[in-house]
Amino acid sequence: MKSDALLLVVTLLMQWVIGLGAVGAIGYRLERKTLLPLSLLLGMFLHSLSLFGAQLAGIPLSLQTMLVSGTVTMLLPLVRFSTVRATLAGLFDVPRIRPTLYDVVIAGFVGYVGYMVVWASWYWPVTPFDAMAGIDLVARYAAKDGMIANQVFTDPSVRGMLSNQPFYAPFAMLMQVMMKLIGYPYTQIWVSIVAISFWWFVWSALRRVVHPLLAGVLLVLFVLTPEMLGYSYILQTDFANAAFFSIGCFILLRAIDEVSLPGMAVAALAFAGACWSRTETPLLVVLVVGMCLPRILREFGAVKGLAGSLGIVAASSTAFALWNIVFFNWYLPQRPSTAEQLRGFDLGRFAEVVGSSWTSVISSTELWGWAVWLFLGVLIVDAIINRRIAQPMLIGMIIATFLGLFLVGTIFSAAIVEQTLRRGMFKVIPLMIVAIAGSGLVSSASSTLYSWEAGRRS
C-alpha cells in the first residue's frame, strides 16, 4: 500500500475512533448499525474542529499537526473512561447477521454504486465552479502556506474578487486540507466516505421503522436521488451539511422519544457539525428545535427540556461563531460582505421565493426522483384513510426546514432559488424518505410483508 493510501486509512480510522469516543463519553447508547456511521461523520467533524483549533493557537497546518490534533481529540474522551467503556460495551461482539437473498441483492446494488462513487471521488479533480473558486482554492494554499489565512486572502490578483465562496464552508475546506496534507493534491475522496456513511445511517433509520425489503428499496431511492447522486462524489459542502443536519434531526427525534439528555447532546453535536459545514444552518437548527420545543418541555420537564434545547442552539451557535466571528474578526485579513447581502424581510418576496421554489425546485422529479411526490402521496393517503398523520414531529421538522430555506432565500440576496435552495433540499430529502417509511400506509405494508414472509396470517 502506498504511504498516502496508508495515511488516508489511518486518518479515517482515527476519525472513526474520535466519533466513537465522543458518543461514548456522552453516554448515549446506540445500536451498532447506527453508531458506526454516526461516529465516522462526527469524528470527521471533530477532527476538522481540532485542526482548526490548532491553527487558532498559532500552530501551522502540516501532516504532523493533523495527526497530533487527531490523536489528542481521540484521547480526550478517555477522561470519562468508565462511561465510554459502558456505552461502547458490545461494540466488538460478533455480529449476528442473518441476511436473506433480497438483502444481499440490495446490499450488492448499493455496494456497486458506493464503489463507483468512491472511484469517481478519487479519480476526478474538483469540478464545480464554487468549489474551485472557494473551498479547494483556499485549501490548496492553506496546505501549502501552513495557514488558512493564506495568500488567497492577500494576493492582489484575487483578494478583491473572492465573493462568498471561500467563506462559508470550513468543514469541507478543512477536509480538503487534510486530503492534501495526506498527499492527495486534487482528490475529494472524503466526499464519498461522507456519502456512504450517510447512506448507512439512513438505512439504519429506515430499518428501525420498516421491513428490511422496504427499507432497502427506500434506501435505493434515496441513494439514486438524481440531484444528490452527483454530489456524493463531487466536492461541495451541501451533501455533508445535509448529512449532519438530517442526522441531528433523526437523533433529536429519537432522544425525545427516549427522553434521553445524552441523546440530545449527540444531536447537538450533529447540528454543530451542520453549522460548521454551512453558514446559514443555525437558522434552520433554531426553527427545528423551536418546533420541537413544546414536546421537549412536555417529555423532559421545563428545566431539563430548556437546558437541552438551549444546549443544541448553543453548540450550533458556537460552531458558527468560531468560524464566522472569531476567525473572521481576529485571524482573517479579509471578511465576506455577508452583512451587505442581508435584506429586510418582505412578505411579497417571501411568497415569490416559495412559489419559484415549488415550481422550479421542489416539485421537480428530475431533481428528486419520486421522493417528494411519494412523500406527499403517503401523507395525503394517511390523512384520508387513517385520519391521522404518522410521525408528526418529523413532518414538523420538514416544514420547519422548508420555512428556514424560504427565509434564507428571502433575506439573503446571494441565495438563488435554483442553486442555493436546490442544494438546501438535500437536507429535506432524507427526512422525507424516512417519513415515507414511517407513514401508516408503509407501516401496514411492512407488517403485512413480515407476516406473509413468515407464512402467517396478517
Partner 1 sequence: MTAEPRPVFSVRGLILTAAVIAVLTLLVGPYLGEANPYASSFHARIELYREKLDSLNRIRGWRDRIYMRHMANLEIPEYLVSKLRPTDTLLLPPIEYGNQFMATKAFWTDPRIFTWMVGFQPIVAWRDTSRRNSANAYVVLEANTIWITRPGGSTNIDSLLAVYEKLGGGK
Contact residues: partner 1, CB under 8 A: 98-102, 105-106, 109, 113, 116-117, 119-120, 123-127, 129, 132-134, 136-137, 140, 151-152, 155-158, 160-162, 165, 185-186, 207-210, 212-213, 216-217, 220-221, 224, 226, 229-230, 365-366, 369-370, 443, 446-447, 449-450, 452-455
Closest separation in Å from C-beta 209 to partner 1: 6
Closest separation in Å from C-beta 101 to partner 1: 4
> Closer CB to partner 1, residue 148 or residue 354?
148
> Closer CB to partner 1, residue 293 or residue 449?
449
SS3 376: helix
Closest separation in Å from C-beta 299 to partner 1: 21
> Closer CB to partner 1, residue 283 or residue 437?
437
> Taking a C-beta distance cutoff of 8 angstroms, is the pair 18, 43 a contact?
yes
What cell numbers appear for 249 in the block?
434531526
Q: With b meaning 16 or more CB within 10 Å and e meaning fewer, what string describes 296-332?
A: bbebbeeeebeebbebbbebbbbbbebbbeebbeeeb
Beta bridge partners, 412, equal 342
> What contacts 24+ positions apart, CB below 8 Å, involve 7-13?
7/63, 7/182, 7/183, 8/179, 8/182, 8/184, 8/189, 10/67, 11/47, 11/66, 11/67, 11/70, 11/178, 11/182, 12/40, 12/193
> Closer CB to partner 1, residue 59 or residue 221?
221
> Closer CB to partner 1, residue 88 or residue 210?
210
Closest separation in Å from C-beta 259 to partner 1: 19
Closest separation in Å from C-beta 189 to partner 1: 13
What span, in angstroms and rounded, lies between the C-alpha atoms of 445 and 348? 43
> Closer CB to partner 1, residue 16 or residue 426?
426
Contact residues for 315 (Cβ-Cβ < 8 A; gap 6+): 268, 269, 271, 272
- Stated length of the chain: 458
Closest separation in Å from C-beta 241 to partner 1: 20
| Owner of C-alpha cell 486509512 | 9
